Amino acid sequence: MMSVLINLIEQKNKIEESQYQEGFLLPPATEKQLIKLQENSLRFFKGKISDQFIELLKISNGFSVNGLNVYGANTIESPIYLPGIIEANESFYEECSLKQFIAYADENMSRVVFNLNTRLYAVIDRVTWEIIDEYETFEEALLALIEESCVFE
C-alpha cells in the first residue's frame, strides 16, 4: 500500500484544482487497460511491473506535473501527451545496455527505474543512466525523486 505517495499526490492535485481550476491527475486506468498492460509487460519486460505502479494507475493513468512525468498504462494523447510505460521503454531498449532498466517516470534531470540486475528501484541520471540512489520500493524511489527535484515547491 502506498498511502504516503497517494496522499501527497491527491493533496497536491487538490491544491492545483483550487488554484488553477484543474488538477494534474488524469482519469484512472481501466481494468481492461491494466490487464493489457500486465500481459504486455510480461512479453516486453519478461516480467511483472510494480504492483505499486499499478496501484497508482488506479488513481490516475499517469500524470505530468512541474516537469515530472509518470508514465501511464498506455499512451495518452489528450489533454497532454504522455507515453505509456511500454512505449516509453521501447525507445530506450534500442540501446542494449539499457535493457536492464524498466523506466517508470522521468523529470528534467532524473528517471525512476527498476534495475532488473539488482532487483532494486533507483533514481538515475536522465542522460547518463548512472544510478544516483537505490530504493526497495517504487514508492520510495518516486517520493525521493519528487523531493529531490522540488516538484511540488
Whole-model pTM above 0.85? yes
Tell me which residue has cell 519528487.
146
pLDDT tens-digit readout, 23-42: 999 999 999 999 999 999 99
Reported confidence tier of residue 1, pLDDT bands at 50, 70, 90? low
Reported confidence tier of residue 114, pLDDT bands at 50, 70, 90? very high
Fold classified for 3-148: SMI1/KNR4-like (3.40.1580)
Residue 97 CA to residue 136 CA, distance in Å, equals 22
**Amino acid letter for position 83:** P
Q: Where are the domains of the chain?
A: 3-148
* Residue 131 and residue 87 in contact, taking contact as beta carbons nearer than 8 Å: no
Residue 24 CA to residue 41 CA, distance in Å, equals 26
Q: DSSP string of 103-150? A: EEEE-SSEEEEEETTTTEEEEEETTT--EEEEESSHHHHHHHHHHHTT
pLDDT tens-digit readout, 57-88: 999 999 999 999 999 999 999 888 999 999 99
Q: What is the pLDDT of residue 96?
A: 84
Residue range 120-126: mean pLDDT, rounded: 97
Q: What is the pLDDT of residue 47?
A: 84
Q: Please count the other Cβ atoms lying within 10 Å of the Cβ belonging to residue 89.
A: 21
Reported confidence tier of residue 97, pLDDT bands at 50, 70, 90? confident
Length of the chain: 153
